[in-house]
Amino acid sequence: MNDDPAPTKRAIMEATYDALRERGYGDLTIQAIADEFEKSKSLLYYHYDDKEALLADFLEYALDEFMAEIRVGEHEPVEQLERLIDLMLPETIDEDRYRVQIALLELRGQVPHTDVYRERYAEIDRTLTERVASIVERGVETGAIRDVDVELEAELLVSALVGMQTRRLSTYEEFPIERSRAALYEHVERRLVAPAA
Amino acid sequence: MNDDPAPTKRAIMEATYDALRERGYGDLTIQAIADEFEKSKSLLYYHYDDKEALLADFLEYALDEFMAEIRVGEHEPVEQLERLIDLMLPETIDEDRYRVQIALLELRGQVPHTDVYRERYAEIDRTLTERVASIVERGVETGAIRDVDVELEAELLVSALVGMQTRRLSTYEEFPIERSRAALYEHVERRLVAPAA
């Protein structure tokens, strides 16, 4: 057994990703995740009793990975907003990623029955909105972004991003991804970017 | 048996609503819907073989009912947009409505497995976006709304509305509904309403 928990956790999370991709949420069992896990199955069962606890950790892990991609202050605020759009709404989405994302949409529908999912989604929502607000706030401070209401702007942007993801997942190839991306880019460029002095 | 199909269809749709409220999507069976149906159960089975066909009709019925609430030209365009916000994001949401909406979110997660759901969601998405575009377009024509790109504005508004609904359903009492509504109202008032001449 490995003493460092990080590689083990990463391997468990990757097995969970693979199992979600293969089976979706409805048919997922902890056994199916164990089957994708390359290390000892007893190690997985040692860490997790049930799939709810494992998936709650998976949501947290995915959030941490995502947040590491959009750290405040690493780039210019406007560039960061555009990067966020590209990360959440890439021009193309491959079959694997589609399958995992739709499995997570099914999981979202489980929140009334599973408190730990609801807590995680509340955390994801809060963390993402606060991050976007921090980016916009920094832009207002540096003068790159107009003097907008930071909180309201973050609500609007996060909602538009989540809405486009939800619409895209449920309409798939019919979703107007180019027009949606253009709508967000136009919003950032015309409504947020401060006019050149 | 009633010769007029309309009251029968309405009664079946109401039974479907009640069954979704009671059971959610996962535990729903056509038998459970028949149990909520006050008329002859054979009449329900005469119209529907399986729950997928029935739920696809339910989505269409719900869309028609919703669209009847926001007819283009019945009110001033800006008022209509505000009415749309109030309909999709009421300040409070009772337990029954929450349960049906979360059941529909679960159903959205079924689109990869059930073509008829995907077709219906694509239709809902297209119809709603076109309606919002028509309202904005009429506002631009009458001078009530600035000369915005109608298509992009409709994408942004519909996405923000769907995103707020999705976020609200998956975080429930933690969702900042007042701030989200304020973000949409502010967008309409500051970005869309034309300045007074």
**pLDDT in the model for residue A126:** 96
In this predicted structure, the answer to whether residue A159 has a pLDDT above a threshold of 90 is yes
Q: Do B156 and A183 touch (CB under 8 A)?
A: yes
Confidence of residue A1 (pLDDT cuts 50, 70, 90): very low
Predicted ipTM > 0.85: yes
Helices (H), chain B: 5-23, 30-36, 41-47, 51-69, 77-88, 95-108, 115-142, 150-171, 177-186
C-beta contacts of B174-179 below 8 A and 24+ residues apart: B174/A122, B174/A125, B174/A126, B175/A125, B176/A155, B177/B89, B177/B91, B178/B91, B179/A151, B179/A152, B179/A155
Rounded to whole angstroms, the Cα distance separating A165 from A7 reads 30
Q: Chain A: residue nearest B180 by CA?
A: A155
- List of chain B residues whose C-beta atoms are within 8 Å of the C-beta of residue A169: 108, 111
How many Cβ pairs closer than 8 A exist between chain A and B? Answer: 151
In order, the DSSP letters of A51-62 are HHHHHHHHHHHH
Give the N- to C-terminal CA distance of chain B in Å, as an integer. Answer: 61
Grouping H, G, I as helix, E, B as strand and the rest as coil, residue A193 is strand
Q: Which residues of chain B have pLDDT under 50?
A: 1-2
| Angstroms from A42 CA to nearest CA on chain B | 31
Tell which B residues from 124 to 163 touch A, by Cβ distance under 8 Å. Answer: 125-126, 149, 151-153, 155-156, 158-163
More confident of the two residues A127 and A50:
A127
Q: Do A171 and B122 touch (CB under 8 A)?
A: yes
| Angstroms from B155 CA to nearest CA on chain A | 6
Q: Chain B: residue nearest A26 by CA?
A: B26
Nearest to A162 by CA among A134, A114, A121, A115: A121
In this predicted structure, the answer to whether residue A5 has a pLDDT above a threshold of 80 is no
Confidence of residue A183 (pLDDT cuts 50, 70, 90): very high
In this predicted structure, the answer to whether residue A112 has a pLDDT above a threshold of 60 is yes
Nearest to A15 by CA among A33, A40, A42, A41: A33
- Six token digits for residue A96: 């694997």
Q: Do B118 and A170 touch (CB under 8 A)?
A: yes
**pLDDT in the model for residue A4:** 62
Angle made by CA atoms A86, A148, B147, in degrees to the nearest 5: 75
In this predicted structure, the answer to whether residue A143 has a pLDDT above a threshold of 90 is yes
**pLDDT in the model for residue B1:** 47
**pLDDT in the model for residue A117:** 94
Of A121, A153, A161, the CB nearest to B171: A121
Best of B59, B118, B121, B159 to disrupt the A interface (most A CBs within 10 Å) is: B159
In this predicted structure, the answer to whether residue A40 has a pLDDT above a threshold of 90 is no
In this predicted structure, the answer to whether residue A119 has a pLDDT above a threshold of 60 is yes
Rounded to whole angstroms, the Cα distance separating A178 from B108 reads 22
Q: What average pLDDT does the structure give for chain A? A: 91
Q: Do A183 and B25 touch (CB under 8 A)?
A: no
| Angstroms from B88 CA to nearest CA on chain A | 13
Confidence of residue A166 (pLDDT cuts 50, 70, 90): very high
In this predicted structure, the answer to whether residue A2 has a pLDDT above a threshold of 80 is no
Asked if B95 reaches chain A (Cβ–Cβ under 8 Å), the answer is no
At A18-28, the pLDDT tens digits run 999 999 888 89
